[in-house]
Amino acid sequence: MKKVTFEKRYDVEKGQKELSIIQAVEDKECDTKVRKSFTYHVTKLDEMKYQAEPPQINIRKAYDTKKKLEQFSFHVKGNFCLTHGRMPIQVDFEHKLNIDIVWKNKIFSPKKSVILT
């Protein structure tokens, strides 16, 4: 069984927008929950003096063999600058991907040697 939820929130006065997608899948082997979210915050700049910095990236993966739980998260946070109608604008963004897998059977995330043979 597959269930997908889509949410969209925005606040024009604060210049914020958030989109999120939540997907839950249940099958014979595991229950999987995937959450994706995209957040943007727009601010006007007085001048086009902008120094680009690389985005911050955070990746984590965790296993809990007792609970048969496997977790993965990927977060990117940064900003960029653009012009809209000759007006300089800075966009701060944050993208998140979280995956949780609960295994039902005793085989928990098979080892690479099992997959390759």
What confidence tens digit (pLDDT) does each residue in 1-14 have? 889 999 999 998 88
Strand, helix or coil for residue 103: strand
Range of the domain at 31: 2-47+55-116
Read off the tokens for 2: 């597959």
Looking up tokens 């604008």 gives 89
Statement: the pTM of the whole predicted model exceeds 0.85: no
CA separation for the pair 66, 82 (Å, rounded): 49
Task: Determine what percent of the chain is predicted with pLDDT higher than 90.
Answer: 56
pLDDT in tens, 77-114: 999 988 888 888 999 999 999 999 998 876 655 566 55
Q: What's the total number of domains in the chain? A: 1
